[in-house]
Amino acid sequence: MSASFRLMAVHAHPDDESSKGAATMARYVAEGVDVLVCTLTGGERGSILNPKMDRPEILENIAEVRRLEMERAREILGVEQRFLGFVDSGLPDSEEEPLPEGCFALQPLEIAAAPLVAAVREFRPHVILTYDDDGGYPHPDHIMTNRVSVEAFEAAGDPDRYPGTGDPWQPLKLYYQMGFSKQKFEALHDAMTTRGIGSPYADWISRWEDRPEKWPVTTKVPCGEYYELRDQALIAHATQVDPDGFWFTCPIDLQREVWPTEDYHLARSLVPSALPEDDLFAGIHAEEVSQACH
């Protein structure tokens, strides 16, 4: 893998990069790819989900704490990372509950997308990773992250759009994260049950809504050898992740055996690539990258 390849992952909050595609990023970093994580909000309205960290002084300084957690996770994964400056919208208790004034999810699209367009034009990624149009799950910031990622992919190469945000740059491929599939968790559940290991997935699977697959997996990136780094990065987000909790019940060796990939849907592509793929850069040739950089 040439160091001239560049990968951008766009996420809503600090910790999302470690729970969605972290092993993929660690693999590509090890292969010499430049990887940038763009975090759209500071996670200011995130709850403390790790009971060991549920202390008043942390909640009072949650934005700064989450920045420090992100710094540690970034170091573990070996990626670059930048915050794009929006304020976390929080997760409403109901659809009727209004979102906080000024939050990320309420921004006009062109305002919300402008910092990402600028980042794309500066970093010049060949591939962008983001969420599907449901946000992966229906958090308002995740849904808006999809919208601004698609907007940036389609606008960054157009010199007439977003003036003042840098020279145009056209990414070549856009992927949606597909890490939370029923098929994956059924496979892990069956493997744990067969080996007599208590599975945490049974109740989750039983409540899974069966519906037609909207975004089929097109691309499975082998990255099992980086699962330890993924977990270390996730644990670095100590306010959000309990190291004794749900995410770490299935042994890593079993995960490697049953599901050694992180999975994606190829949503946009400007290069030919035969599906299914096992590489986010499939179809992008080094000579084309070299020419595009000049």
In the chain, where are the structural domains located? 6-180+215-253+261-287
Q: What is the pLDDT of residue 1?
A: 52
CATH superfamily of 6-180+215-253+261-287: LmbE-like (3.40.50.10320)
Q: pLDDT exceeding 70 applies to what percent of the chain?
A: 95
For residue 294, pLDDT over 50 is answered with no
First to last CA, the chain: 20
Contact call for residues 9 and 55 (beta carbons, < 8 A): no
For residue 28, pLDDT over 80 is answered with yes
Q: What is the pLDDT of residue 14?
A: 96
Binding site feature residues for Zn(2+) = 13, 16, 142
Contact call for residues 261 and 221 (beta carbons, < 8 A): yes
Among 17-26, 43-52, 181-190, 212-221, top mean pLDDT goes to 17-26
Binding site feature residues = 13, 16, 142
Region 135-150 average pLDDT: 93
Name the DSSP class of 105. G
For residue 83, pLDDT over 80 is answered with yes
137 versus 1: the higher-pLDDT residue is 137
* Burial readout 156-195 (b: 16 or more C-beta within 10 A, e: otherwise): bbeeebbeebbebbbbbbbbbbbbeeeebbeebbebbeee
